[in-house]
Chains A and B, each alone.
Chain A
């Protein structure tokens, strides 16, 4: 009897120790939603996996959701908090809107609590000093600055417009001159410029004509319709003259096949362009004036913490991962990003990358309108309609403004 009792006690002790050890060793899990799908999603998952294997205390579960679905899922999950992630990545310009909607909570709660990770704003790209704050609170931590610029086929540029390679700036006047010269020489299978994405191309041109589209309060749309009309007219003039691609053309294929000298696109396409095997460089998208320092259109991706109850362990897990990402941003840079982490940006490897030229030489204009996403979505819907002549530039400006205002009012 005594023997059985001893054996039972030992067994019970072993079981409880095993269970306790299991609990002690189980990592704290946090869920991260990002808008990175495709190759970016693969890179982010790889960074997350490396973080998870680098230590055993915390585990990040990465869920990649495409941009539109991420917004919808967040809105839906707000009504059922169990479905919410712990933190997520989207554009930093969304932080003010999400703060108003009650989706996110200030980062300060986490960042100040775990000072060992040191998220001081001066460790990040200078633009973060504005971007990471909303309503006077630090609401986000930036990852990178996807920026809109232009890829140059160096071989064609050297042949047809060598001066552009000298000052690294292409003006609209130069597009017209080169286009006219190509036509005069009877060269029909090479176009000067191919547009990669109407929304970013037009916004990049807009900031050439007008400094902003928002009032000082950050919430009132102040679209300069005169500038919008000029922007459309300028693109249309070159399109009608035959200097640009034709409607329906595959501009990626054209650039890959030496049929475009310049091709506007984002830093995120660096790896894809690299695979074309061309001699290329990456510069600012077309400018009005070569004497003015180019300002590129960009939008920072940032971490935000969901407004829900978070345990100390979960908060520390998120801080730990964001810190890991800061320290290991070079992998993110290899995927073509302009990183927010200064420690990475100063590294030799980063400085040898094509996007380093952009971050070292140009300013990046980041949207600061609370409802930027609405403004951009409406512009996406209009696309190249103004340039292709489906609607007039005046109608384009009216439509862009009216639809944005009405859609914004539905959210207030």
Chain B
């Protein structure tokens, strides 16, 4: 009798939770774990997909980190450099602009619901729709931006730094809707009592925002900063469809450095290009990018925890 009881409790304690977890575990293994492990394995091979992968050990990493004669050495450097530059330039706007808009909407001004829809609308559009539209708008000759601002034939597409400005405008316009919704719901939760108390103590609007609102929305803020950084590290579609990576700005060892070509573009080029597949190099680059994002996220969390944003 005691034995049966023990069996039942063991079953409930171990197997029932596992049964509940099983669907997720299966999905996780199929769509996360196996691809990650395959990617790690592929990064140590020379693999054209059509043939069996050939084990090359650390050769792909050696090429990318130490062989200055290899195109992949420069692609990794320049790709990471452009991506980090983009993250640094873009993420602050992706946080600040939706936050300002959310604060404005939280004042419940007339037509705020319509405005909210209007601000969120771009997030629903597909990448190709966004890029084709903006490509036309930024066209140097006849583009609506140059026409409206009387900028003549200013080349937003293939002249630095205008290509960067255009890419940031497009990315912020397209992506600020999702952060806006998060900030709006967070602002709804800010205690009115504390705000009123601060006001009675003589705090002005800026003081109330810094000392009451900001600490109250610290978790959503942290979340959006981390997710925005991760998302922008993976930027690929906008520069690829806008100007294919932009103009060449220098040539070193027979490799041309394109102004705004991101690491994901190099990965896609090696892994899926029409010139043939180099899955080994593409996987190694992707793992380096993944590791970078992981490290940056950890640092972000540490800094935020310490400063208690």
In the complex, the answer to whether B248 meets A406 with C-beta atoms within 8 Å is no
Interface stretch of the complex, out of B164-172, B173-181, B269-277? B269-277
- Per-position binary interface string of chain B over residues 108-152, scored 1 when its CB falls under 8 Å from any chain A CB and 0 otherwise: 000000000000000000000000000000011110000000000
Contacts of A19 on B, CB cut-off 8 Å?
A: none
Does B23 reach chain A (CB closer than 8 Å)?
no
Residue from B51, B70, B276 in contact with A102 in the complex, judged by beta carbons closer than 8 Å = B51
Q: Smallest distance from the beta carbon of B279 to chain A beta carbons, Å?
A: 9
A158 CA / B256 CA spacing, docked (Å): 42
How long is the Cα–Cα vector from A124 to B160 in the complex, in angstroms?
Answer: 49
A160 within 8 A of B: no
- Taking a contact as CB atoms under 8 Å apart, the answer to whether A391 and B251 are in contact is yes
Once bound together, how far apart are the Cα atoms of A402 and B141, in whole Å? 35
What CA separation (Å) do A69 and B71 show in the bound complex?
23
Whether the Cβ atoms of A374 and B276 lie closer than 8 Å is yes
Report if A75-B50 is in contact (Cβ < 8 Å); known contacts: A247-B155, A382-B248: yes
Bound Cα distance from A388 to B71, whole angstroms: 23
Q: Is A395 an interface residue (CB 8 A)?
A: yes
Contact B272 A398 (CB under 8 A): no
Interface size on B, residues (CB 8 A): 36
A347 interface residue (CB < 8 Å to B): no
In the complex, B281 has a CB within 8 A of chain A? yes
Which residues of A lie under 8 Å from residue B46 when comparing CB positions? 410
What mask results when residues 79 to 98 of chain A are scored 1 for a CB within 8 Å of chain B, else 0? 10000000000000000010
Contact of B247 with A by CB under 8 A: yes
Chain B CB within 10 A, most for which of A69, A382, A399: A399
Least Cβ distance of A389 to chain B in Å?
10
Q: A71-B274, A250-B139, A403-B71 known; A381 and B254 CB under 8 Å?
A: no
Scan B271-307; emit 1 where CB is below 8 A from any A CB, else 0: 0111111100100000000000000000000000000
Contact across chains for A248 and B157 when beta carbons are under 8 A apart = yes
Chain A hits for B247, CB < 8 A: 385, 388, 390
Task: Judge whether A101 and B141 touch: CB under 8 Å.
Answer: no
B222 within 8 A of A: no
Q: Which residue of B lies closest to A397 (CB)?
A: B254
A185 within 8 A of B: no
Chain B: CB-nearest residue to A97? B276
Does A135 make an interface contact (CB < 8 A)? no
Residue of B nearest to A75 (CB): B49
Q: Please determine whether A391 and B248 come into contact, CB atoms closer than 8 angstroms.
A: yes
Contact assessment for A75 and B277 in the assembled complex, using a CB-CB cutoff below 8 Å:
yes
Q: Are B276 and A410 in contact (CB under 8 A)?
A: yes
B142 touching A248, Cβ below 8 Å? no
Contact of B254 among A102, A248, A401, A411 (CB under 8 A): A401
Which bracket fits the contact residues of A? 35 or more
| A78 at the binding interface (Cβ < 8 Å) | yes
Q: Is the CB of A407 within 8 A of B256?
A: no
Asked if A398 and B251 make an inter-chain contact with CB atoms under 8 angstroms apart, the answer reads: yes
Which of A248, A382, A395, A407 sits near B278, CB closer than 8 Å? A407
By the criterion CB–CB under 8 Å, are A246 and B153 in contact? yes
Known contacts A385-B247, A403-B254, A407-B278, A68 near B273 by CB under 8 Å: yes
Known: A253-B142, A377-B274, A402-B71. A385 touches B51 (CB 8 A): no
Given A248-B157, A403-B71, A403-B255: A101 in contact with B274 (beta carbons within 8 A): no
Indicate if the CB atoms of B273 and A377 lie closer than 8 Å. Answer: yes
A98 to B: closest C-beta gap in Å: 9
A402–chain B nearest beta-carbon distance, Å: 3
**Neighbouring A residues of B276 by C-beta, 8 Å:** 71, 75, 97, 371, 373-374, 407-408, 410-411
Shortest C-beta distance, B84 to chain A (Å), equals 22
- Whether, in the assembled complex, A103 has its beta carbon less than 8 Å from a beta carbon of chain B, the answer is yes
Q: Does B249 touch A at the CB level, under 8 Å?
A: yes
* A374 and B275 form a contact (CB under 8 A): yes
Cβ of B244 within 8 Å of any chain A Cβ, yes or no, is yes
B238 at the interface (CB under 8 A from A): no
Contact check, B277 vs A399: say whether CB atoms are below 8 A apart: no
Check: A4 CB closer than 8 A to any chain B CB: no
Q: Which one of A101, A377, A390 has the highest number of Cβ atoms from chain B below 10 Å of its Cβ?
A: A390
Indicate whether A275 reaches chain B with its CB closer than 8 angstroms.
no
Which A117-175 residues sit within 8 Å CB-CB of chain B?
none
Interface residues as binary, A188-219 with B (CB distance below 8 Å gives 1, 0 otherwise): 00000000000000000000000000000000
Chain A residues with Cβ under 8 A from B278's Cβ? 407, 410-411
B261 closest partner in A (C-beta): A381
Q: Roughly how many angstroms separate A392 CA and B155 CA in the complex, as a whole number? A: 21
Contact of B48 among A75, A247, A382, A391 (CB under 8 A): A75
Shortest Cβ distance from residue B155 to the other chain A in the assembled complex, whole angstroms = 4
Contacts of A234 in B (CB 8 A): none
Docked CA distance A102–B253 (Å) = 34
Given that A72-B277, A385-B247, A411-B276 are contacting pairs, would A248 and B153 also be in contact in the complex, using a CB cutoff of 8 Å?
Answer: yes
CA distance A399 to B48 in the complex (A): 23
Instruction: Say whether, besides A373-B275, A382-B256, A399-B251, A76 and B49 are in contact (CB < 8 Å).
Output: yes
Chain A: minimal CB distance from B43 (Å)? 14
Is residue A116 within 8 Å, beta carbon to beta carbon, of the partner chain? no
- Bound CA–CA A214/B272 (angstroms): 25
Shortest CB-to-CB span from A343 to chain B, Å, is: 32
B158 within 8 A of A: yes
A158 to B54, alpha carbons, bound, how many Å? 62
The chain B residue with its CB closest to the CB of A402 is B254
Q: Which residues of B contact A246 (CB under 8 A)?
A: 153
CB atoms of B141 and A248 under 8 A apart: yes
Asked whether A102 lies within 8 Å of B281 as measured between CB atoms, the reply is no
List B contacts of A309 (CB < 8 A): none
Is the Cβ of A101 less than 8 Å from the Cβ of B48?
Answer: yes
| Alpha-carbon distance between A371 and B48 when the two chains are bound, in angstroms | 14
Against A, the Cβ 8 Å flags (1 = close, 0 = not) of B36-47 are: 000000000010
Chain B interfacial positions (CB closer than 8 Å to A): 46, 48-51, 70-71, 139-142, 153, 155, 157-159, 244-245, 247-249, 251, 253-256, 258, 270, 272-278, 281
Q: Can you list 12 residue pairs at the A/B interface with Cβ under 8 Å?
A: A68-B273, A71-B274, A79-B49, A101-B50, A247-B159, A248-B140, A381-B258, A395-B256, A399-B255, A403-B71, A410-B276, A411-B48
**Other CB < 8 Å A-B pairs besides A248-B155, A390-B249, 16 of them?**
A70-B274, A75-B277, A101-B50, A247-B159, A248-B140, A248-B158, A385-B247, A391-B248, A395-B256, A398-B251, A403-B71, A406-B71, A407-B276, A411-B48, A411-B277, A411-B278
Q: Which 4 A-B pairs give the minimum distances between C-beta atoms?
A: A248-B140, A402-B254, A374-B275, A411-B276
